[in-house]
Amino acid sequence: MGTATQPTIALEGGFAGAVPELAIPWQAAEPPAPRLLVLNAALAEEVGIDPSWLRGPEGVGLLTGTRLPDGATPVAQVYAGHQFGSYSPRLGDGRALLLGELRAPDGRLLDLHLKGSGRTPTARAGDGFAAAGPMLREHLVSEAMHALGIPTTRSLAVVATGGAVRRETTLPGAVLARIASSHLRVGSIQYASATGDRALLRRVVDHAIDRHHPDLVGTDAPALGLLQRVVAAQAALVAHWMLVGFVHGVMNTDNMTLSGETIDYGPCAFLDAFDTSTVYSSIDTGGRYAYGNQPGIAAWNLARLAEALLPVLDDDPHRALELAQAALDDFAPQHASAWRTGMLAKLGVRQDLDDPDAAALVGDLMGMLQETRADHTSCFRALTDAALGDDQRLRALLGASPGFDDWARRWTALGPDGSAMAAVNPVVIPRNHLVEEALAAATEGDLAPFERLLDAVTTPYVERPGFERYAAPAPEAFGAYRTFCGT
């Protein structure tokens, strides 16, 4: 059990104070029988909370929002958003709460946020709760993303509520405690803009700048500066996703952060077979959020951000439009450059980004992957092995492609650095069949498979004896994978 005292945790209410129009004061529901399922002790230390205290009753009270430090002002955030392309003027934390911001020992100001903590005034038809499986899934996948070096919200803990949640079946309920550099979204700006209150929009922009880009405070065009920074952060983020084969699945504008952290692990999944048209989400029938569409959708979402910012970009509407367009035009080259840099690193070559041979090498590899539908993660690891002298696995995966021998000759001639490749091409990603297996066991009360998978995915670059099955693609029998939003 936890130690009796934790040096006081201060939860600031910076967001609620700065933009109360986007914050509804609210309380978490009391869970009937809370029980800690998983605690991220390393993250707890990093944010300055004693993990052993968090394991005790007071800590679990913090993690479920029911025992908060004096002065805390939990709020449900209000935002708008384009969901699958159609605009909803009023969304918000239907089952989530921002408990407040905490100051980490390293000086960062971080949101402490809950998901699954009961209905709020923006719950619409939802019950306000979350099932344990999907919350454990967010824990697992967000921690895997972090270990892969990809900006993301973090999971501090998952607590079983002891209550039942009705979905297609009755499932155990849980609350996820999440840490993020903020929960400001494209949809937060859209909401403020749609009120028509320019002063409110300015305040939201200023708050975002305070949180993420304090160097822009006092500059001539802070809103434009913010737009440019969000464009750059998202261009880099989506390039990261593409390089590891991550499919977010629900890139609505309310699920795109201003910080550039990946958020909202609902229907996400990782590619097995490489195919740009891959869609996992059962509700994404048109393939809007397919793997290969993600850069284009990010650009579309950023255009919605730019539109929402128009009133504060410049007093002259024509000038505002020009500035917005110029900022948006940066997305494609920035994304392409981040992606190409990452891809050349995955291939272990140090060619110039504009080198046509390097560009052809990358393009031809993508063509072979698409044609063979080879396992994405295994292919890059097999390339790593090949650069280290053993091309057996690579030949087994891509050898059937007519262009392979020529491609391999051109690549080898560039002298790929196998040990550099081993540091950027993961051995382990959260494989869909293993995630499902672990969550099914956890839902039945057995957390051992989840813990072992978490261990595997949070050390993604290491080949470890005994962990071979975590590196292997799904067996044929697993079939086509489907994910669900209504979690």
Q: Which residues are catalytic?
A: 254
Q: How many residues bind ligand AMP (CB under 6 A)?
A: 16
The answer to whether the beta carbons of residues 258 and 54 sit under 8 Å apart is: no
Tell me if 56 contacts ligand AMP by CB under 6 A.
no
79 vs 250: CA distance, rounded Å = 16
Contact pattern from residue 110 through residue 149 relative to ligand AMP, giving x for each residue in contact according to CB under 6 A and a dash for the rest: -------------x--xxxx--------------------
- Min dist CB 187 to ligand AMP, Å, is 9
Buried b (16+ CB within 10 A) or exposed e, 240-275: bbbbbbbbbbbbbbbbbbbbbbbbbbbbbbbbbebe
Tell me if 61 contacts ligand AMP by CB under 6 A.
no
340 vs 322: CA distance, rounded Å = 28
Tell me if 264 contacts Mg ion by CB under 5 A.
yes
Q: How many residues bind Mg ion (CB under 5 A)?
A: 2
The answer to whether the beta carbons of residues 116 and 176 sit under 8 Å apart is: yes
Q: Give the three-state DSSP class for 278.
A: coil
Tell me if 257 contacts Mg ion by CB under 5 A.
no
User: Which of ligand AMP, Mg ion, none sits in contact with 430, Cβ below 5 to 8 A by type?
Assistant: none
325 vs 306: CA distance, rounded Å = 8
Instruction: Scan residues 250-279 and list those touching ligand AMP (CB under 6 A).
Output: 250, 252, 255, 264, 266
Binds Mg ion by CB under 5 A, chosen from 40, 77, 188, 255:
255
Tell me if 262 contacts Mg ion by CB under 5 A.
no
Binds ligand AMP by CB under 6 A, chosen from 65, 94, 416, 460:
94
Comparison of 120 and 278: residue with beta carbon closer to ligand AMP: 120
Comparison of 48 and 128: residue with beta carbon closer to ligand AMP: 128
Comparison of 127 and 210: residue with beta carbon closer to ligand AMP: 127
Q: 96: closest CA among 33, 55, 138, 56?
A: 138
Using CA atoms in the order 178, 22, 283, 442, what is the torsion angle rounded to 10 degrees? 20
Q: 451: closest CA among 465, 463, 441, 464?
A: 441
Half-sphere exposure of 249 (CA within 13 A, CB side): 21
Half-sphere exposure of 164 (CA within 13 A, CB side): 6
- Min dist CB 77 to ligand AMP, Å, is 9
- Min dist CB 90 to ligand AMP, Å, is 10
Comparison of 128 and 473: residue with beta carbon closer to ligand AMP: 128
The residues that bridge with 171 in the sheet, in sequence order, are 165
Q: What is the largest CA-CA distance in the chain?
A: 68
Site stretch for Mg ion (CB under 5 A), options 45-53, 147-155, 251-259, 461-469: 251-259
Sites of contact with Mg ion (CB under 5 A) = 255, 264
Sites of contact with ligand AMP (CB under 6 A) = 91-96, 123, 126-129, 250, 252, 255, 264, 266
